[in-house]
Structure 1
Amino acid sequence: MKHVPTLDIRRYDSDRTAFVAELGAAYREFGFCCISGHGIPKSRIDAAYDVFQRFFALPEETKLKYHQPGTGGARGYTPFGIETAKDSRHPDLKEFWHIGREIPRDSKYAAQMPANVWPSEIEGFREHGYGLYEALDALGTRVLRALALHIDLAEDFFEDKTCFGNSILRPIHYPPITAEDIPNVRAGAHEDINFITLLVGASAEGLEVLTRDGQWLPITTEGDAIVVNIGDMLQRLTNHVYPSTTHRVVNPQNENARKPRYSVPFFLHPNPDVVLDVLPSCIDDDNPSRYPTPITSHEYLLERLREIKLI
């Protein structure tokens, strides 16, 4: 049976050519890969999960103090039952929080990247939440170096395009499923919007990827592995050389449906003014350009947020 491979990113330094080839092959096939050997301490991940879980356990009226209607959920809290996968009839069964990049408020990107809000009720939320944000941002940069080399770009091609990226850390709480008539999907089938997504830890099974032959393939990780997948912006930039693969979170068909599920994806975005224009190295006779009209990453983001009913 096919499975999404797990690759040790330390091989980027010790066995670069082979690692880049294997990583590129995994992404061309699945749009997903599991990355081990990343060096993010388990203690950092556990501390972040702890503060996130304590926030979601707060009373609803307390959490709603941090909801910012009209902002597309860009920062702070988004309540249960709002986000809806494109073309889905049912909203996703989740509530979440958004942490964004800390930038000077006189930055040229300040209008697109609002200031973070932090819950005063949870000690250490900012420290551990933003600590994990920075760790995953750095890991994402390493993955993008290998992805650049695989399509014959300079190793640092993405770095000046993501250094002020509108990236988001999204702690998610999927409450226990208690009603029998609830749809069996916690997060509807969708593709991510951004360059790449890094998913650190999940407290229950449920993540599934749609393979090229139309089968839903469960993804489970071992040890310290982090799931990293391609988003639509990178698919567009690379003319589908790196595919953005449909995935979903289903309800476990066992007693784990009665347990809460927590996950923390990091959505790595380009800088808001980066133009998504198909790379010449990803165009050939067999793969002509699919996107003749360029668009900025911020314009593209707004388009997609409307589709999923966040704005």
Structure 2
Amino acid sequence: MTALTVPTVDISAYVDPGGSAAQRQAAARAFDEAARTVGFVQVVGHGVDADVTDAFAAALDEFFALPAEVKGGYRTPPEVNRGYTAPKTESLSLSLGLAPANRMHDFFEAFNVGAAVSDHPGLDLPVADYPENVWPAEAPGFRPAVSAWFAEAGRVARTLTTLFADALDLPPGFFDRYTGHSLDVLRMNNYALPPGEVTLDGDLTGMGEHTDYGIVTVLWADQVRGLQVLGRDGHWHDVSPADGALLVNLGDLMARWTNERWLSTLHRVKPPVVDGRIERRRSAAYFHDGDVDAVIETLPTCRDADGGTPFPPITVGEHIRAKLAGSRAGVANPGAAREAGRVLAARQP
């Protein structure tokens, strides 16, 4: 597997109040180029303190080291995108309509937290989309460290949407009207299983092929092989975060907004097997998805020459629910033919 060059963009001019207009313009241009060509970006200058990251990593270790029966007590029904996910109970490829329905074979385990109704008093938001979080009492350091990381990742995501407006020649604050009560979710993943719980064969799937669903994803991950990105050459390429960088990629809603000027890049996880055992890998993806009732339609500046677009308007909620019904409930998504076709082409020898 060859390496894919993921551009590095310094966003410090957007984090530092003293950042100049010229520095911001340079960062916006660099991000636009990366979004057009790769869809994944190594973001530096993000301002996240190393102490926050270290405490967060320790919190993941604290929770995932708990006995399986304890972790299983924090499972929620598939329609509730919170709490614990056990190995082989999801299939990310079904979010693209790929793989047989109900074939839940991704072996990662995860824990989700996200925006809740109680975070937005007075808005009368749907509980189904903004469920309350569950927190493991057996891991006392988990909630404070995860909450601190959630806040920092959210700050980075909103900093990026400020940059996006500049990069796309939109009015300042353009995306604010779509993200006031954003459906933000933090998914913490663990890719290590005790011996005997998984068959080590050629079909080993840590996390199936998928695109992210929303606006932008901020990813923290170990520097361990596993994450693979589908390049424009039709091949899968290994990607890992650079020292001090956060990996950032764009989701389907941003691709719809920009008429695929910016890429919602397909990716998957194929964890490495070393001496017959799976090497441990941790990651945490902060999904900044937008308001449940926001209507997403192609930007006028990104439409085809004739003013058209292949993407009809859709609400954030409609899009996210169709994707989650695939990955979590085993209902193949029929509305992702474009992305599924790219995966199928890449599967050919």
The TM-score with structure 1 as length reference comes to: 0.92
Offset of 1:110 from its aligned partner?
A: 4.3
State the identity as a percent: 31
AA aligned to 2:10 is D
AA aligned to 1:261 is R
In structure 2, relative to structure 1, the CA distance for the partners of 1:106 and 1:79 (3 Å cut) is farther
* SS of equivalent residue, structure 1 residue 209: strand
Residue number among 290, 300, 305 corresponding to 2:324 in the alignment: 305
1:243 aligns with 263
* 1:135-214 aligned within 5 A: 135-176=152-193, 178=195, 179-181=199-201, 183-202=203-222, 204-214=224-234
1:107-165 superposed Cα distances (whole Å, 9 cap, x missing partner): 32242201111111111211111110110111011111112211111131112311211
Q: Distance in 2 between matches of 1:222 and 1:65?
A: 36
Offset of 1:223 from its aligned partner?
A: 1.8
Residue number among 32, 40, 51 corresponding to 1:32 in the alignment: 40
1:100 aligns with 114
In structure 2, relative to structure 1, the CA distance for the partners of 1:219 and 1:155 (3 Å cut) is farther
1:4 aligns with 6
Q: Does the alignment pair 1:262 with 2:282?
A: yes
Offset of 1:218 from its aligned partner?
A: 1.6
AA aligned to 1:296 is T
Q: Does the alignment pair 1:231 with 2:239?
A: no
Q: Does the alignment pair 1:75 with 2:86?
A: no
Counterpart contact for 2:28–2:164, Cα < 8 Å: yes
1:265-288 superposed Cα distances (whole Å, 9 cap, x missing partner): 111110111101111111131783
Q: Distance in 1 between matches of 2:306 and 2:57?
A: 45
Counterpart contact for 1:201–1:264, Cα < 8 Å: yes
* SS of equivalent residue, structure 1 residue 158: helix
Q: Which runs of 5+ in 2 are unaligned?
A: 331-349
Offset of 1:50 from its aligned partner?
A: 1.1
Residue number among 31, 45, 52 corresponding to 1:44 in the alignment: 52
AA aligned to 2:88 is G
Q: What is the total number of aligned residue pairs between the two structures?
A: 309
Offset of 1:46 from its aligned partner?
A: 1.4
1:38-85 superposed Cα distances (whole Å, 9 cap, x missing partner): 11111111111211221111112211211112434x111111111102
Q: Does the alignment pair 1:88 with 2:99?
A: yes
2:68 aligns with 60
AA aligned to 1:97 is F
In structure 2, relative to structure 1, the CA distance for the partners of 1:106 and 1:116 (3 Å cut) is farther
AA aligned to 1:295 is I
Counterpart contact for 1:203–1:262, Cα < 8 Å: no
Q: Distance in 2 between matches of 1:182 and 1:58?
A: 29
Offset of 1:257 from its aligned partner?
A: 5.0
In structure 2, relative to structure 1, the CA distance for the partners of 1:37 and 1:257 (3 Å cut) is farther
In structure 2, relative to structure 1, the CA distance for the partners of 1:144 and 1:255 (3 Å cut) is farther
Q: Distance in 1 between matches of 2:200 and 2:213?
A: 32
Moved more, 41-50 or 103-112: 103-112
Residue number among 26, 29, 32 corresponding to 1:21 in the alignment: 29
Q: Distance in 2 between matches of 1:275 and 1:220?
A: 34
AA aligned to 1:82 is T
Counterpart contact for 2:227–2:271, Cα < 8 Å: no
Offset of 1:309 from its aligned partner?
A: 3.7
In structure 2, relative to structure 1, the CA distance for the partners of 1:257 and 1:23 (3 Å cut) is farther
Counterpart contact for 2:217–2:286, Cα < 8 Å: yes
Q: Does the alignment pair 1:123 with 2:131?
A: no
Moved more, 197-206 or 278-287: 278-287
Counterpart contact for 1:9–1:36, Cα < 8 Å: yes
1:217-260 superposed Cα distances (whole Å, 9 cap, x missing partner): 22122221000001011111221111101111112254595322
CA RMSD of aligned residues (A): 2.1
Moved more, 254-263 or 61-70: 254-263
AA aligned to 2:144 is E
Q: Which runs of 5+ in 1 are unaligned?
A: none
Q: Distance in 2 between matches of 1:5 and 1:214?
A: 19
Residue number among 97, 109, 113 corresponding to 2:125 in the alignment: 109
AA aligned to 1:250 is K
The TM-score with structure 2 as length reference comes to: 0.83
